Chain A
Amino acid sequence: MTQLALVIDLNVCVGCHACVTSCKEWNTSGTAGPMSDMNPYGEDPTGTFFNRVQTFEVGIFPNTETVHFPKSCLHCEDPPCVPVCPTGASYKRESDGIVLVDSEKCIGCNYCSWACPYGARELDENQKIMKKCTLCVDRIYDESIPEKERKPACVNACPTNARLFGDINDPNSEVSLAIREQGGYKLMPEWGTQPANHYLPRRKTRITIHEDELIRADNPLKKERKLPMPDADDPTLDETTSW
C-alpha cells in the first residue's frame, strides 16, 4: 500500500522559507484556495499557511545549536484527525495515504485541530473551513506537468533539496533509503499517530589531525635554510670512526 510522504533533512535546512511561500502561492490559486490573510497590510497580519518553519535554539552559549524546523501535515498512517471529524470531511486516501479535507463537507468545528498533536490543521479564518497540506495532490498526478516536476511545490522549490518526496512503503524509494540510512525519525512517536513524514537528524562532520601531519619531510620552510643545522665544529661519526 502506497504511503506518500515528505522526508525533511534538518542537516541541510537553512530556514529560507522557500517551502512556506511556494506552498502558499501554489495553493491559494488552487482547488484548496484561496488561502486567506487577515490584516494583510495592517497590524498583526495572520494568514493560512500549510507549511511553517520554526527556528529555535538549543543549548547555552557558546554551545548553541540553531535549528530550522519546517512542519506541515505529516499524513499520519493512523491519523487522529480523521475519526474525530463529525461530517466525514477529514479523510485519508486509500490509494496513496494522503490525508485531505473535503471542503464541501467541512463545517469548521476545529475538532480535528484539537486531535492533531502536531498543530498541522489550520482554520481558514475567512472561509471558516479547515485547511492543510495536500501533498500537492493536484500536482503529483497532473500529466500536463513534466514528470520530473510532478512533485509538491515545496519540494521543487527547496534550494537545499532538504525536502524529499516519495513512498515510504516502497523500500527502494529515495525517502525509504534516506530514513533507513540516515536515522530518519518520527515526530512525537508516543502519540501513536504513525506519522508518514519523517525527519533526518543533524550530523556533525569533524576533521582529525594527527600530530605527525604537522611534521613533514617536504616542509617548505626547509628550503629557506630555516631548520637549524649543527655547527661546523660539532663532532660527527665522520671523525670518530673509520668503518
Chain B
Amino acid sequence: MSKPIHDPLSKKLDEESRIEVKNTTCYMCACRCGIRVTLRDGEIRFIEGNPDHPINKGVICAKGSSGILKQYSPARLTKPLLRKLGSDRGDNDFEEISWDRAFEIMEERLGHLRATDPKKFALFTGRDQMQALTGMFAKQFGTPNYAAHGGFCSVNMAAGMIYTIGGSFWEFGGPDLERAKLFVMIGTAEDHHSNPLKVELSKFKRRGGKFISINPVRTGYSAIADEWIPIKPGTDGALLLALTNEIIRQGLYDREFLVQYSNAAELVNLDENSSEYGMFVRTDAPVEEGCFDPQNKLWWDRESDRPIATHTPGADPYFLGKFKLDDGMPVKPSFQLLVDRVKEYTADWASSITGIPAETIKRLAHEMGITARDEKIELPIPWTDTWGNEHETVTGNPVAFHAMRGLAAHSNGFQTIRALSILMSILGTIDRPGGFRHKAPFPRPIPPCAKPPNDPRAVQPNTPLDGMPLGWPEDPDDLFVNDDGSPVRIDKAFSWEYPLSVHGLMHNVITNAWRGDPYRIDTLLIFMANMAWNSSMNTSEVRKMLNDKDEDGEYKIPFLIVADAFESETVAFADLVLPDTSYLERHDCMSMLDRPISEFDGPVDAVRIPVLPPTGDSKPFQEVIIELGSRLKLPTFTNADGSRKFRDYPDFVINYEAAPGIGFLAGWRGKGGEKFMKGEPNPRQWEMYEKNNCVFHYELPKSYQYMRNWNQGYLEWSKRHALTRYVEPINIHIYSEVLQKFRLAAQGKSDGKQPPDHLRKRVESHFDPLPFYSQPLEAELSDLHKYPLNAITQRPMAMYHSWDSQNPWLRQIHTYNYLNVNAKTAREAGIEDGGWMWVESMHGKVRCLCRHSEAVEPGTVWTWNAIGKASGAWGLDGDANEAKQGFLLNHLINEELPPSADGDHLSNSDPVTGQAGWYDVRVRIYPAADDEPKVSSPQFDTLHPVPGQMVGNNPGRWLKYFAGRKKH
C-alpha cells in the first residue's frame, strides 16, 4: 500500500489562519447550554459544548452544533424596514429605513399612546427568556397588555404545580434521576431541559432504574423506555386520579410526609350554611399579613380525640373521618375529602377512558407506591425544619416524574396537573432525593407574591403600571377586571374567563384586537413570535385579521411592529420591521429575575457575550428596548434630571437595580465582585462572567439543598439573599383553598368580586379545590362520531424548542412532515402509507402525506409541528418541501370555542389558566382523490426576499461550508 498523498493529520489550515475561541451560551432551546465557539479568520469553525459548564458539561445537541448555519442564514434581516405606502400587509413590500427613523416612528407613536391610553400598546413576545427586561419595559410604559408565550405553550404545567407544591417542572425543578429508582415520564416528547435530562436519563438507565413513558406516541425519549404505556390524549387526569385512588386504597402513601409538610390533615369547614364553606377552619391565633400560609389551622388529634393546632409537638392527626367542632361545625380533614373525591376513580373506570388496561393501572400504582415506600434513601445530611425540629438525615422516596405539554395543552390540563402534583406529594417525593427537586428561585409561596393590578385605574397615562404585568392571583379580589367584571387586558387574562392565567393568552390577542373585544388597540409589537404562522391557532383566519381594514381604510389593528432575526411569515405582515441579531452577536442574560438555569444544588445564572459583530445593521432587541425606554423617558431609564440613565444594554445589566442590591445578574456583585445574589453594581461584572464560562453557579450547603419548602436554613438563606421575602413554611396544597375562594365567589357567597352571571356556572364547576376529571371543553362541543380521532403535535429532537427549517443541515433531517397514523386506523380509512390524505376538524381541513406507524395509539394522529412553512419564508426557495409537502395542523385548530351557554367567544383554553387547548382538537381522516394536486393544502403565495435580507448567503445549488479564508 503506497503512502497516502493527502495527510489527514495536517494542521496547515489552522496554522496559517487566525484562530479565536470564545465561550458563550447557546440559545436554541430552554436548556441554555454553555458552548465554546472556535473562529477561523473570523468565521465559525466549530461550536461544541463547554466541558466546564454545569448545565451540559461538554455535551451539545443537533441544534447547538448546527449554529453555524443559523448565523449565516440567507433569511437574516439586516435593515430596519417600513412597509411601502400603498402596499398591503403580507405583500412583503418594504423599503429600508435607518434606525434613527425607526426609533423616531416608534417614539412618536408610542409616546402618544403613553400620554393618552397606554393600553393601546400591546407587547407580546414568543421567546420568553427576556421577560425580566420586556416585562419591566411594559410595566414602565404603563400597559397591561404584555405576555410571553406561556399561555400558548404550557402555563398549566407552571400553574397546576405552583399552586400545589410551590414549584414546577421546567427550569424551576425536575426529577432527581441521580437517586431515583423509578422514573415516570408522562406527556413529554422532547422538552425543556433536554440536554441535562438526556445526560441524567442515560446514567439512570445504566444504574438499573426503570423508565416508564406514558404517551400516545412512542418517539424520542420514549424509544428507550423500559415500558411504553399508550394513552388517549387528554385523559391523563383520569389515569392520575385512578393511581391516586389505588395508592390510597392500598395504604401506599407517605403519611408522615403528608402530616408535616402538607395540608392533608387540616380540617375543612363543611357547614353548608356558612359563607366559609369549604375553607379551612382558622383559629384565633394572631397572624401577620403576608403572602404565605399562616399557621392557624387545625388537626383532629388521634390521642386526645380533639381538635388541636397544626404542628403542635406530639400531636398526630387523623387523615380520615368526619368530626364536629365544639360549636357544632361539621369538619373533615382535607385528605378525607380527597378520598371522597377519588373513590369513584377506580382503575376500571380509568381504563375505559384512557385505553390503558385496569391491571396495568393497578400495577403502576403498586410499582410507584412500593418503590417509594420500600426503597427509601437516607442521606446523612442534618437539617432543621421551620418548626424547629432537627433532623439527622434527609429521607427520599426514589420515584421521580417528568411531565410537560402533553398534560398541559388541554383545557382540562390544570386539573390534570393538580392531580399529578398531588400524586407526587402523597408518594412523599417533593424536594427529596430521588424524587422532585426544586431549582432556585423556587420553591416560592403558594401562590407566589407578585400580583397583577386589580383595578382598571392602575393604567394611567404617562405612569408606570400599578402592579406587575403578570402575577399570581390568590383571591377573586386580585382579578384585573373593571367594575362590571369585564376584562382590562386585551387578551382577557386575569378576568373571570381565565382567572389564573398567569402567563397571559397570546393566542387570542390578534383576534380580540381585530374584533375590538374588549377594545381596539393601536400598536402591537411582536418579538420573536411567528404569529402569522405557527404561533397562532386558526392561522389562515388570523392572517386575514391582520390584513383586515375598517370602512375608512384603516387597518383594524393600526400598527404592527415585528422584531425578528429572520425573514418570516409574520415579518411579511409588519408595518415596521426591526432586525434582531443572532445569539452569537449579542449580550444577554439568563437572569434569576426571569428564567434562570439553576441546578438542584443552587442558583445558576448565565450570560451571552458577542462572539461576532452584528450582521449588517441588525441590533439586539435588548438594545432596542433600552433605546426606546430612554427616548420615552420611562422612569427606570431616566435620571432625576431627565437625562438618559443607561448607555446600552450591558451598562443597564450592570447598573440597573430592581430593588437595592438586586440586579439582573446574581454573580460577582459588590464593588469588587465579592458578593452574590445581592450587592452593589460591579462595573466589571461582564468580564467576570466571561472569565468563568459565562456562568455563575452557587452551590448551597448540603443541609439547605433538600426539603426547601420547610427547611429553616434554606428559607433564611433565601431571605438574606433576596430570593424570597418570608421564612414561613410552604406547605403543599393538597386541598386548594385558593380555588375554593373563587368557587365561593361564583356561588355568590363571598363579599368581594364576583363573576358576571353568565360565567358563574363555569367558574363554580372548574374552580374545584380538589382535582377532578372531565373531558376537554372542545370535545364536549364536538361531534365525536364525525370527528373521532385526536390530533396532536410535538417538536422533533433536532429542532426542539427552536425553529430550524432555515438551517440546511437540520432541514435535511426534517425536510417536511407527515401525518403519522396508526397503520390499522389508516388502512381502515383507505389511506396508503405515503399517500395523500385529508385531515379535517370542525374548523378546517388540511391535505398532507400519510405515514403509517405502529408507534401511535389507534385513536390519535400526530405530526411534527412548525415544519410546514409558507412558500419562500425563511430564505427558502418557493418550491421547498416545507411549503409543498409540509403542513401546519394549526389550520384545524380554533382560538375560540364554538358558542355555548357560557359565552360566544370564549378562548379555546383551560377555563382556569387560559392555557391554549392545542391538543383538544378532534379530527377525521380520509384519502385524497387521485386527481388532486400532489401538494399540501392550503398553499400560500411565495414570499420574496426583503431589502437587507442576506440573500447572498444562499449559494444556490451547492453549499460547501468551510470556515476561514484559505480554502483547500
Contact = CB atoms under 8 A, between A and B. Distances in A.
A223 B302 contact: yes
Nearest to A37: B959
Instruction: Point out which of B58, B218, B318, B854 has the most chain A C-beta atoms below 10 A from its C-beta.
Output: B854
A36 interface: yes
Instruction: Point out which of B211, B813, B815 has the most chain A C-beta atoms below 10 A from its C-beta.
Output: B813
A49 B813 CA distance: 11
B956 to A, nearest CB: 9
A35 B253 CA distance: 57
A118 B125 CA distance: 47
Given A15-B220, A61-B230, A159 B857 contact: no
Interface string B42-70: 00011111010000101111101110100
Nearest to A68: B223
Nearest to A127: B960
Interface string B4-19: 1111111101000000
Interface residues of A, number: 88
A142 B855 contact: no
Nearest to A67: B223
Contacts of B811: 45
Contacts of B809: 21, 24-25, 37, 47
B798 A61 contact: no
B6 A103 contact: yes
Interface string A24-49: 11101111111111111111111101
Interface string A93-104: 000000010111
Given A66-B218, A137-B8, A43 B198 contact: no
Interface stretch (A108-116, A148-156, A165-173): A148-156
Contact of B226 (A28, A134, A204): A204
Contacts of A57: 853-855
Contacts of B211: 205
B9 A43 contact: no
Contact of B8 (A66, A138, A148, A202): A138
Contacts of B591: none
A142 B224 CA distance: 35
Interface of chain A: mostly helix, strand, loop or mixed: loop
A81 interface: no
Contact of B881 (A12, A44, A216): A44
Contact of A43 (B49, B194, B320, B881): B881
29 contacts: A12-B224, A13-B223, A14-B220, A16-B62, A20-B813, A22-B62, A22-B65, A28-B961, A29-B962, A29-B963, A41-B875, A43-B884, A55-B223, A61-B230, A61-B855, A64-B218, A66-B222, A102-B5, A104-B4, A104-B5, A138-B9, A142-B9, A156-B58, A159-B202, A160-B201, A209-B363, A220-B255, A220-B319, A223-B302
A144 B60 CA distance: 21
Given A18-B59, A22-B65, A225-B321, 18 more contacts: A14-B201, A22-B62, A28-B960, A28-B961, A34-B967, A35-B960, A37-B812, A39-B877, A40-B808, A49-B812, A55-B219, A66-B218, A137-B9, A156-B59, A159-B59, A159-B202, A205-B210, A220-B255
A107 interface: no
Closest 7 pairs (CB-CB, A-B): A40-B808, A160-B202, A17-B62, A104-B5, A220-B255, A159-B198, A40-B959
B775 interface: no
A224 B884 CA distance: 65
Contacts of A30: 13
Contacts of A88: 1-2
A213 B365 CA distance: 13
Interface stretch (B155-163, B367-375, B605-613): B367-375
A11 interface: yes
Contacts of A91: 1, 4
Interface in A213-243: 213-214, 216, 219-226
Interface residues on B, range: 35 or more
A123 interface: no
Contacts of A103: 6
B74 interface: yes
Contacts of B74: 41
Contact of B47 (A25, A28, A45, A216): A25
A105 interface: yes
A64 B856 CA distance: 9
A2 B205 CA distance: 31
B854 A60 contact: yes
Contacts of A162: 202
Nearest to B339: A224
Given A28-B961, A47-B809, A224-B319, A42 B5 contact: no
Given A29-B964, A205-B226, A42 B370 contact: no
Contacts of B963: 29
Contacts of A44: 815, 881
Contacts of A142: 9, 11
Contacts of A40: 808, 954-955, 958-959
A149 B9 contact: no
A157 interface: yes
A119 B82 CA distance: 51
Contacts of A206: 210, 226
